[in-house]
Every structure is written in C-alpha cells, then in structure tokens.
Amino acid sequence: MTLIKMAWRNLWRNSRRTFITIFSMAFGLTMMIVGYALMDGMLNQMVHYATVLGTSHVQVHHPDYLEDHSLYDTINAPGTLLEDISGTGLGSAAPRIFATALVSSGQQSAGGQLWGIDPALENSVTELYKHLETGTWLAPDPMGQIVLGRNLARTLSAGPGDEVVVLTQAADGSLGNALYTVSGTLKSIGEALDRGGVIMHIKNLSDLLVMDSKVHEIAIRLNDPDALDTASSTLNETLDQKTYKVENWKQLFPELAEYLRVSSSSMTIILFIIFAVASLGIVNTQLMSLFERTREVGIMRALGLSPLSVAVLVLFETLFLAMIAAVAGGIAGVLWSLRLESVGWDISWMGGSFAFVGVAFDPHMYATLTPAAVIDSIVVMVIVVLIASLYPLFRAARISPVDAIGRGR
Amino acid sequence: MTSLKWKPVFLVLLICLFSSRISSAATAKEILEKVDDLWRGESSFAEMTMEVVTEHYERSMKLKAWSLGKEHSLFVITYPPKDRGVATLKAEKDIWNYLPRVNRVIRVPTSMMMANWMGSHFTNDDLVKESRMSEDYDAEVTFEGEKDGTSVYEIALLPKPEAPVVWGRIEITVIQETLIPIRSLYYDEDGILSRTMLFDDVKKLGGRLVPATMVLVPEDKPEEKTVITYDSLELGLGLKPEFFSRNTLTRKDLVR
C-alpha cells in the first residue's frame, strides 16, 4: 500500500515529464484505435461493395453456369427455388439473367454485359439502386428502361433519355435486337459493371433472349452477413445439389476473402510494431527518472527496502502512467473514431475513386469502431509498456545501496 | 456481327466458279491468284438457305446475297419473319448490320469479330478473312493424284508470318479436272483440327458447275452443323460499288 502511494507521489515530483510521457502513450493509443477503426471500416466497405453492390452474399446457379456462363445453363423453376430460399428465413433473394451483347448508341458501339433483374426483389438484395450517378433506377414494371455502367455510358456517350440498341443472340439462335431507353447511369462499382454493365428489367431481357421463365442466378442477401458459412450449408441441405450450386461471396471472390483474412492478422502485427517503436520512448523516460533517483533508491535500500519492493515501486509507477494514458487515449480514440464513422474521411484528393482487389471504392472512407478495436489497442499498449519497463525495473532492483549513496556526493 | 460468316463461303464458291478455267497443271498459288483475279470486278447475286443445327436449337433461314469483287458484299435475311430484313454489309474493312425492328444501322466493333453470325457456326471474322486468302496465306500443293477414285489436288495454306489470321493451317482438296473443292479442313494455331467444311451437290448454277451445298462442322461438337444451300446464282450483274452502301442496307425492297 505504501509502495502504491509512493509510486503515485513519485509520478508528480516531475509532473512535466510525467505529462509528456502520458501524452505520448495516450497519443499512440489514440492513433492505434483510429487506425484500427479505419482499417475495419475499409474492410467492411470492401465487403459491402463486393456483396451489396452486385454479388450479394450467396448465389445459386446451375452447377455448370459459372464455368462458361452459357446461356443454357439455367435454373428452370426459379419460382419454386425462391420460395424454398425464403422458407429458410435466411434473407432476401432475387432472380437474375445474364447475356453478352453488342450495345450501340448513335455511331458508338461496344460490347456489354446484360443484367436482367427484378427491381422489386433486387432492391432488397443489392443497393445498386442507391449508386446512381445520373438519372433514376429501373421502374418496378418492365418499361424498356436500362441503367448503364459508368464507363460504358461514357463510351456510348449516352445518358438518361437516350435510346440504346441492344443486339444479342437469343436462346433460339435468332438475333435478339431491341431498343431501350437509358433511365440512369451507375457510379463506379467494379470493373465489370463499369465497363459493360447494362441493367434492365428481367422481363425485358427474358423476352429479348427468348428465355421463358428460366434464370441464371438467384442472389441472396443474408439477414446476418456474418453467418455466411452456416447459411451456405443450410442452403446446401435445403436445395438439390445436382440441380443447384450454392456459393457464397468468399468462394466467388477468393482473393478478397484471402485479403481480408490476412489483413486482420497483419493489422495486429502492425499495431504491435507501431507501439513497440513508441515504447522506446517509455524505456528512455523510465531510465532517466531512475538515474535521477539512484541515490534516493540507494538510501531506501539501506533503510531495508528489498530489491523486489524497489522493482514493484517502479512497476506501479509504470502502471499508473499506462492507466492514465489508457483512459485519456481511449477516450480521444473513441471520440475521433466515432466522428470518422459518422462523417467519414474524404480521400478524393488522393485521386478520385479507385479499385482494389477488383472492387471499386468511393473515395470516402468510413471508420467502423468495434469494442475489439478499443480493447485490443489497450491490451497491446499495456503489454508493450510492461515489456518496455522490464529493463528499467531490472536496473532499479539491482542498485546497490553502497554504490548508489557514494555516487551521489 | 451477322454478315461476316459468309465471306469464307463466298470465297470458296468463287473458287469453284472460276476453277474450270484454270489449267490442271496450275500450282496452288496460281490457282488461288487466278481465283482472286477473276473475282475482281465480278459481281454476283445468290439466294440461299442456311440450316443451323446445334445442341440447343435448330433453325432455318433464307438469305439473299450480293457481292462485288473482294471488298463488297451484302446479305439480307428473308426468312423467318422474325429476322426478315436483317441485313449485313461488308464494305472495305467495316461490317454494318441493319436491324429493321429498331430501324438502326450498327457497325460491328472489332471485339465482336469472333462472335457467331445469326446463331450459325460462322463467325464475323470468316467473312472478312475470306476475301484475302491468297494475300494472307502461302499455298502449296501437298498431294496430286487419285483418292477415292477421283484425281485431286490437296493444297495446304499456311499463314504468312505477319498475317492477322485465325487459322494455323487450311487444307483444301480440289478435284483436278474441274477444280471444284470437295473439302476444307481448318486447323487452329496449335495445329489441331478445328472445323471441317464439306462441299457437295455439284450442279450448274449461274452458268457454271458449282457445289450447291456446303456443310460446316465444328470439330469439338460433331453433332452440330451449319448447312448452306445455293438455291440460285446469277453472275456478272454489273453492280456498282455504290450499291454496297449503308443507304442500300435500309432499302425495303431488298427483301422482296
């Protein structure tokens, strides 16, 4: 008890140094928490872009469809399948049809990827409808409207109100051709959609391709995105695996899943390194303060204080520093992170929107603050500080009373 | 994207048409060159039927085709009603499609050259490449003699080093006496047989002996095929290059 009191008082004998030490530790902790939250936010954004803006969490196809995207590898009873999926209560599902086509406006033509979607269902699965650059999203009824990917719209010099000819090979071998009106254009979403995306009502595309009611894909948005593996296996049990193939976004985007996995573990390592560098300052401060008090420690030892007690005294000083820094830095880090969570961080000055591992980004980062960010950071800080104090601790315990008292004069 | 598939067919047809004038001692190169020379300035009009059989569908189409020399050709579909009036123009290096339903003329971009035409086994690229066989390939007679009771030449075409072609090798078997082709084999760049074209039903059309039927079979799907049958053929119509214009594409009287 006395040692605790002594440790506390010792701290304030040189209050300026103590403040500087606390400040540097607290600042390090703040940066750690904010960095952690930004990293989490970025990873979340990546998953969001990869899933809610197109792929969705889980997809169901004909077993061969993803291999060569053949028009004929279809899901033949989408109605029943949609019912089966909604019966599991896992989330919302929407049907899709795809085809490649020649898209032409005025004198310009380009290759395009046609997406037939049912706006009423699709809007509960993906948030593409929220990512329009110009114009409006598709109406719930098939009205011959299309929404173009950003780069395709530029290639065709087409915008809302313009007419676009779509030319493709229908399922019966005939030349499907029709005229559609652009209702809107998308923001940058991902390379494939940007370059060739032509999104239209599933009924319009089905007519163009002579597909009857067959579809190529059922996209599912899970109510609980974290229960990805459970959901996949539930669907695999529910659906006939000979007729359907169920894949989640981690299987569809293995690079992204791998990147996320590596990121979270590498993040911890990076935080450790950052704080280890900062801890050199702590070692320095502790040693300085110890050298100043060599004579004092010598007298305490002469008065009967054991080497262990001296070590404990220094340890308490360090722990007080760490606790004050944890509270101050923790509060600052949480406040800053919360601000970045609501307002975000505009990084468009770094060069507009960008793509990473094939996923496009808004040039506006949002942090995601999790309890883990705060707890992990504080734990890492305390561990690093304790490790950093080992050497000063050891030095303090080994001070010999005779040498220490003699040296002072 | 629709029109290009026809060009190889036309080339072969032209070869057939003019082959009888070539002496039997002609070298492979001479045969091809003479065919090319004879082509120039010549114009033709043909009516044909195309039948396509694939794993997923079977369809039959009727077409009208005009051509002038090596650089100009024009195709119009007259049947089935759904595709009636769809027209394809090859003029110089460009290919244009006219779509009556949306009343638009669309240029086929280079990225679509390998797309198939009207669901058949011909690609757009076939049409463009057909007209330049003797320019892009070195020809050589690899066999001269009797096969299955007929005296034939076998001519191998190898692409010239810089030629922008799809095939690694083409082998054509021609009857010596008439210089009418029997069969063409198309090999890809790895030397693997990719597709086979068979010529049959030799008869007199437009005043010449020609094989009226051509069957294209893709090697990887031997149960599929595209069959072209010439119903009629007229030669030396005196068509002008101006006829092969985008304005002509949209003419309503083409399908009549």
Instruction: Find out whether B131 and B12 touch, Cβ atoms under 8 Å.
Output: no
Min Cα separation A376/chain B (Å): 52
Min Cα separation B119/chain A (Å): 5
Mutate to test the interface with B, among A109, A164, A207, A214 (most CBs of B within 10 A): A109
CB contact under 8 A, A179 and B102: yes
Q: Does A162 touch chain B (CB under 8 A)?
A: no
Which B residues 67-106 touch A at CB under 8 Å? 80, 82-83, 86, 97, 99, 101-102, 104, 106
Bridge partners of B234? B45
Question: How far, rounded to the nearest angstrom, does the alpha carbon of residue A212 sit from its chain's CA centroid?
Answer: 40
Cis-peptide, bond into residue B80, ω within 30° of zero = yes
- Other C-beta atoms closer than 10 Å to the C-beta of A287 total 15
What pLDDT is stored for residue B38 in this prediction? 45
- Residues of A with CB below 8 A from B114's CB? none
Distances (CA, A) of A233 to A16, A61, A242, A261, B6: 60, 15, 15, 21, 51
How far apart, in whole angstroms, are the C-alpha atoms of residue B210 and residue A175? Answer: 30
What pLDDT is stored for residue B256 in this prediction? 73
CB-nearest to B112 from A111, A173, A177 is: A111
CB contact under 8 A, B52 and A173: yes
Q: Does B107 touch chain A (CB under 8 A)?
A: yes
Distances (CA, A) of A78 to A88, A244, A377, B61, B204: 16, 11, 48, 33, 54
Question: How far, rounded to the nearest angstrom, does the alpha carbon of residue A397 sit from its chain's CA centroid?
Answer: 47
Q: Considering all CA atoms of chain A, what is the largest pairwise distance in Å, rounded to the nearest integer?
A: 104
CB contact under 8 A, B119 and A175: yes
Angle between helices A307-342 and A15-50 (to 10 degrees): 40
CB-nearest to A109 from B52, B101, B106 is: B106
Strand A217-222 to A132-135 pairing: unpaired
Residue B186, C-beta contacts closer than 8 angstroms, at least 6 positions apart:
B167, B169, B170, B193, B194, B195, B196, B197
Q: Does A104 touch chain B (CB under 8 A)?
A: yes
Q: How confident is the model at residue B207 (pLDDT cuts 50, 70, 90)?
A: confident
User: Which strand (E) or helix (H) includes residue A343?
Assistant: none
Instruction: Find out whether A101 and A153 touch, Cβ atoms under 8 Å.
Output: no
What pLDDT is stored for residue A358 in this prediction? 60
What pLDDT is stored for residue B12 in this prediction? 56
Question: How far, rounded to the nearest angstrom, does the alpha carbon of residue B155 sit from its chain's CA centroid?
Answer: 18
Distances (CA, A) of A277 to A112, A302, A313, A392: 52, 36, 25, 17
Residue type at A126 in one-letter notation: T
How far apart, in whole angstroms, are the C-alpha atoms of residue A42 and residue A363? Answer: 11
Q: What is the pLDDT of residues A176-186, one digit of tens each?
A: 899 999 999 99
**Taking the model in full, what pTM does it have?**
0.74
- Residues of B with CB below 8 A from A179's CB? 102, 104
CB contact under 8 A, A174 and B111: no
Q: Is A57 helix (H, G, I), strand (E, B) or coil?
A: coil
Minimum mean pLDDT among A158-167, B17-26, B104-113, B199-208: which range?
A: B17-26
Report whether pLDDT(B150) > 90.
no
Handedness of CA B174, B179, B182, B188 (dihedral sign): positive
Report whether pLDDT(A156) > 60.
yes
CB contact under 8 A, A102 and B108: yes
Question: How far, rounded to the nearest angstrom, does the alpha carbon of residue B210 sit from its chain's CA centroid?
Answer: 13
Strand A175-186 to A245-248 pairing: unpaired
Token reading at A74: 């279809």
- Other C-beta atoms closer than 10 Å to the C-beta of A234 total 17
Q: Decide if the complex's ipTM is over 0.85.
A: no
Region A66-72: mean pLDDT is 90
CB contact under 8 A, A174 and B115: no
